[in-house]
Structure formats: structure tokens, C-alpha cells
Amino acid sequence: MKARRKEKRALAGEIAEAIHMRAYRPGEWLRQIDLEEKFNATRFDVRSALDELAVRKTIEHVPNRGYRVAQLDTETYRAIRETRVILETAAVAEIVARMDEATIAKLKELAARFGAAVSAGTHMEQSQINGEFHHVFYSLCGNPVLEEMIWSLRDRSRGSAVTVWSSHESLLQSDRDHIAMIAALEVRDTAGLTRLIASHIIKDGL
């Protein structure tokens, strides 16, 4: 069965998710035939999705060779992190100003769920909850364009040479960071939150 209609434009997202999940590692070639079968899509859909991801710099296109997962050199990786610091710290001021009890509660819940997922969840659950946490956090800034750019850079960070999710240690670190961020946010410690986020990014990129 090939019951797809709405999935048409979502395929790019699915492939991006797979890359994010390290199903395809940086530098690896993405063969169109494999993707057709894996995602049960037509060749045309696969190509569209690949083109979109290439525009977003998630993957790289080499004429007559195909598409491969982007591999960031250290220079570009540094540039991305610097830009992320600029954007994410700039968002902090607005986030602190717009914060409310309901959102704090939601963040706390997500942080707790992340903590649980770290010890007893799948790779995908961890990533999904983590994404949700950061989404709720940054949507607080009240600037959809800024939020979108933060998200886009976050995606591009995946192709780094430094494997972020590989060790259990970094997951625990992320868990601690989440809690620290909420604490700073609760007492409206703008400077502290800024410092926290900056070091979080510089440290390893997530």
C-alpha cells in the first residue's frame, strides 16, 4: 500500500529526522533507491525532499554523484556556534520578560521527562523531548523569525565531527543544563541565563 497524500511535503522532515537520528552519518551518501523503499515514496518525492534539504544545508549535493549528509569542517562548525550564541543569547532578554508560570510548569515537565528518557528511553524519545523543550523555551521570545533561525542553525549543527549524543555523559549534562536554565529563568536572572546558554553552546553544540 502506498497511502500517502499529506506526507508529500513531510518527507524532507522525515529524512532530516533520520539524519538527525544518525541513521545516516555525516559524509554518507544517500541513495535515492534506498530512500524510495525506506520511506515508501516515489523517486520524484525523494528528489524534491533531497533538494529541499540541500537548500537548507542539511545535506550536500554533488552533480552526477548524488546527495550526502553534510560534513562540517571545524571552521564552519565554529562559525555556526558563534552565530548560535549571538541569536540565542539575544533571545534571552525577551524570554525572561515574557515568561509566565504556565510555561515554567511546562518546561519543568519536559525537563523531568527528558531526565527519565535519559535513563530509560530510546534515542528517539530523548531527541524528541529535548527538541520540544527547546522549542517551548525559544518560542517564548515572541519573534518567530528569530526562533526559526535558531532552529535552522541547531539542525545544521548535527553534521559536526564532534558526536554530541554518543556518550551518556553528555545526555546527563544536557539534563543538568535544562534544570539550571529553568532555575535561572524562574528568578529572572537574565545575565545568568545568558551565560548558561553561551557556555552550553560553546561546550559541544547542543
Partner DNA sequence: TGCAACATAATTGGCGCCAATTATACCGCC
Partner DNA sequence: GGCGGTATAATTGGCGCCAATTATGTTGCA
Q: Pick the closer one to a second copy by CB: 88 or 175.
A: 88
The CB-side HSE value for 190 (13 A sphere, CA atoms) comes to 12
Query: How many angstroms separate the first and last alpha carbons of the chain?
Result: 39
C-alpha 91/C-alpha 139 separation (Å) is 9
Q: In whole angstroms, how close is the CB of 8 to DNA at the nearest point?
A: 5
- We find the least distance from the C-beta atom of residue 82 to a second copy, in angstroms, to be 6
- Residue 87 binds which of a second copy, DNA, none (CB < 5-8 A, kind-dependent): a second copy
**145 contacts which partner out of DNA, a second copy, none, CB within 5 to 8 A by kind?**
a second copy
CB of 83 vs a second copy, minimal distance in Å:
5
Question: Given the DSSP bridges, would you call strands 59-62 and 29-30 parallel, antiparallel or unpaired?
Answer: unpaired
What stretch of H or E contains 77?
A: helix 74-98
Q: Does residue 186 bind a second copy (CB under 8 A)?
A: no
Q: Is 86 in the site for a second copy (CB under 8 A)?
A: yes
Angle made by CA atoms 181, 154, 14, in degrees to the nearest 5? 120
Nearer CB in complex with DNA: 31/108: 31
Q: Report d(CA 124, CA 20) in Å as an integer.
A: 9
Give the type of residue at 113.
Answer: R
In contact, 118 and 175? CB cutoff 8 Å: yes
149 touches, from DNA, a second copy, none (C-beta below 5 to 8 Å by class): a second copy
Q: Interface residues with DNA (CB under 7 A)?
A: 8, 29-33, 42-45, 47, 61-67
Residues that bind a second copy (CB under 8 A): 48, 51-52, 55-56, 76, 79-80, 82-83, 86-87, 90, 143-146, 149, 153
